[in-house]
Amino acid sequence: MSMDANEHDESLSPDGTPWWELSYEPGSTRKRFGQERRLAAWLWFEKEVGDTFTMREIRAALGPDIADDSEHLNRRLRELRKADWVIPSHRNDSQLPRDTYRLEVKGGRLWIAGEKQKYKKFAPSDRVRRYVLERDGSRCTICGVGVGEEYPGEPGVKARLTIGHRVPQERLNSRGAMDDMDNWRAECSRCNETVRDEMPDPEQYDEVVAGLKRLNANESKDLLHWLRKGERPRSRLDQAYDRARRLSHVERHALIGLLAKRVGES
């Protein structure tokens, strides 16, 4: 279909260059045009929902100044999820070959400055990160693993800590609420929402059976009971601790004060 002379091709920037080929903001020779914005534009205009693509295609489309590091590009693709893009890889869908991705949902049009602003996130400083990690005892507030500790049943696989939100910023924005320090919490990389696709593949049956050799008879009976029941029974105290651990820092301190009064401590 031909385009009317007065109709602007939305895939082109004001100077006529495709958005995904820009190195700098339109009209600027200093301010870089971000790789996430270029990726979003290329996917929006060059791919249809359901199409697949590879890293090689991305590099060819975005030009010679695109990072040549696959992990770097993987991070850029993951960042698009924050703008409502859905792009599974072979880690999410075993039917996809390695280094292949599928476009399932087109999200925000990040190459447009006004739309990009809607998805702008508050990025915590190094000082904030240090404060939150120290405040939370350098332990994941979701699963409880400590920084540098091995994950249970995975010798040699040590936890890395980052910080994340108790309430997602998108939800806060929808309520007209502001983000604050108490909304940040320590999380291990597996529990952190932005990197869940980095989790390893689920263990296979033979791997689980091999680990059972370390269990004694009583432990094996307990495991059998839990599997038949479909859950590991937890006491009221266990359940209370799980719920309390997920409170904000301020709320946990308030609860500590309440409990201290209840047991007669000053």
Instruction: Kindly report, residue by residue over 160-202, the tens digit of the pLDDT.
Output: 898 988 887 767 766 767 777 888 889 998 888 654 444 455 5
pTM > 0.75: yes or no: no
Q: Are residues 29 and 77 in the same domain?
A: yes
Q: Are residues 130 and 150 in the same domain?
A: yes
* Residue recorded with tokens 């770097």: 72
Cα 144 versus chain centre, distance = 18
Q: Are residues 107 and 26 in the same domain?
A: yes
Q: How many domains does the chain have?
A: 3
Q: The tokens of 230 are what?
A: 């479909």
pLDDT in tens, 27-82: 888 888 888 899 999 999 999 999 999 988 888 888 766 655 556 677 788 888 87
Domain encompassing residue 186: 126-198
Q: How confident is the model at residue 219 (pLDDT cuts 50, 70, 90)?
A: very high
The rounded distance, in Å, linking the Cα atoms of 266 and 254 is 14
pLDDT in tens, 199-212: 455 577 888 898 89
- Is 12 within a domain? no
